[in-house]
Amino acid sequence: MSKLIIEGAPLPNLPWEDRPADCNAPLWRYSQNPVIPRDLLPDSNSIFNSAVVPFKDGFAGVFRCDDTNRRMALHVGFSKDGLHWDIRPEVLRFSCDNPEVGKWVYGYDPRVTFLDGKYWVSWCNGYFGPTIGLAWTTDFEVFHQVENAFLPYNRNGVLFPRKIGGKYAMLSRPSDTGHTAFGDIFYSESPDMEYWGHHRHVMAPAPFEVSAWQCMKIGAGPIPIETSEGWLLFYHGVLRSCNGYVYSFGSALLDLDQPWKVLARSGPYLLSPQTPYECMGDVPNVAFPCAALCDSATGRVAVYYGCADTVTGLAFGYIPEIIDWTKRTSIL
């Protein structure tokens, strides 16, 4: 195999810990997890399912912080090392020319990508039910909200970090009002970040007898990572057990030019809820990735994932190994 090329700038300062000697899995947890505790803010009930990106000489992020009223809100945060976060106590409010679009109801599960010179935030935005909100910023101070991408109900809107075939591109997961018991990943494109169409089906849940952790619903996680083998996508999958939903995550490789075509898809999970902070919390048994930092020079990746809807965890791996593993274990 020719050498894998990972697109994007090197990121030598990404948070990192070497693989423990007794581990041969493609992903391993940060020894100091949870990296962000639930009570980092004076009135936070929980901080999880959050998005971080390289920013200036460190990192910035948009964090899901539910407060002690249990209201879902977004907050901005900054970090020098990706491990110690200064999350602003005030809620993020988007500026928007149109009050009908900009009216805040709730927001959760943000993703952030750097695209065409702006940091774009997508999140699950309350507008007569959940849909995909979009906003951009250049400084993490002022955020400009644009039209919602889709009609309700939709979740897990994840932008690609560049145009594909001359169009902006986004994955999403049409859903219902509540704790949706179904869900496939779809692909949509837009000429202008306002009008979205050309919808294509990407992936359905897997058959129970083939890969049970992803048999009820699936949703895209972090921004896809571009490599010479295709887009590497981390995605969550849900199993309905006799004791409730269990959220794990795995990986897929999508075609570079037609990302709705799946080239490989992991049968085993990369990470499932197994530690106390993943198994215990406000919603037990949830591992929900929303961001990944990657160093194109070394192939290292750091994945941020929500744990039990309560705290934020970090896991590490090598992209070439994860791609090999995804192909080797593929259920396609």
Are the CB atoms for 2 and 229 separated by under 8 Å? no
DSSP reduced 3-state for 234: strand
Q: How many CB atoms lie within 10 A of CB 102?
A: 16
Closest to ligand BMA by CB, 226 vs 309, is 309
Q: How many CB atoms lie within 10 A of CB 57?
A: 7
Site for ligand BMA in 217-256 (CB under 6 A): 247
Closest to ligand BMA by CB, 64 vs 300, is 64
The residue with tokens 């961001």 is 291
Among 45, 49, 50, 79, binds ligand BMA (CB under 6 A): 49
Contact characters 249-288, ligand BMA, x per CB under 6 A: ----------------------------------x--x-x
Q: How many Å apart are CA 309 and CA 304, to the nearest integer?
A: 13
DSSP strand pairing (185-190 vs 197-203): antiparallel
Q: Does 108 bind ligand BMA (CB under 6 A)?
A: yes
Task: Work out how close the CB of 186 gets to ligand BMA at its nearest, in angstroms, rounded to a whole number.
Answer: 17
Task: Work out how close the CB of 75 gets to ligand BMA at its nearest, in angstroms, rounded to a whole number.
Answer: 15
Beta strands in 82-162 (DSSP E): 86-87, 107-115, 118-126, 130-137, 144-146, 154-159
Task: Work out how close the CB of 241 gets to ligand BMA at its nearest, in angstroms, rounded to a whole number.
Answer: 13
315: tokens are: 């896991």
Closest to ligand BMA by CB, 278 vs 309, is 309
Closest to ligand BMA by CB, 117 vs 178, is 178
Taking Cα atoms as reference points, which of 62, 63, 48 lies closest to residue 284? 48
Task: Work out how close the CB of 296 gets to ligand BMA at its nearest, in angstroms, rounded to a whole number.
Answer: 29
Number of residues that bind ligand BMA (CB under 6 A): 10
- Order of strands across the sheet with 185-190? 154-159, 168-174, 185-190, 197-203
Q: Amino acid letter at 205?
A: P
Closest to ligand BMA by CB, 189 vs 309, is 309
Site for ligand BMA in 311-330 (CB under 6 A): none
Task: Work out how close the CB of 163 gets to ligand BMA at its nearest, in angstroms, rounded to a whole number.
Answer: 28
> Euclidean distance between the first and final Cα of the chain, in Å?
21
Closest to ligand BMA by CB, 17 vs 176, is 176
Task: Work out how close the CB of 235 gets to ligand BMA at its nearest, in angstroms, rounded to a whole number.
Answer: 13
Task: Work out how close the CB of 239 gets to ligand BMA at its nearest, in angstroms, rounded to a whole number.
Answer: 12
Task: Work out how close the CB of 132 gets to ligand BMA at its nearest, in angstroms, rounded to a whole number.
Answer: 13
Are the CB atoms for 290 and 50 separated by under 8 Å? yes
Are the CB atoms for 94 and 107 separated by under 8 Å? no
Among 152, 230, 306, 317, binds ligand BMA (CB under 6 A): 306
Report which secondary-structure segment, H or E, holds 319.
Answer: helix 319-328
Closest to ligand BMA by CB, 49 vs 190, is 49
- Binding residues vs ligand BMA (CB under 6 A): 49, 108-109, 179, 247, 283, 286, 288, 306, 309
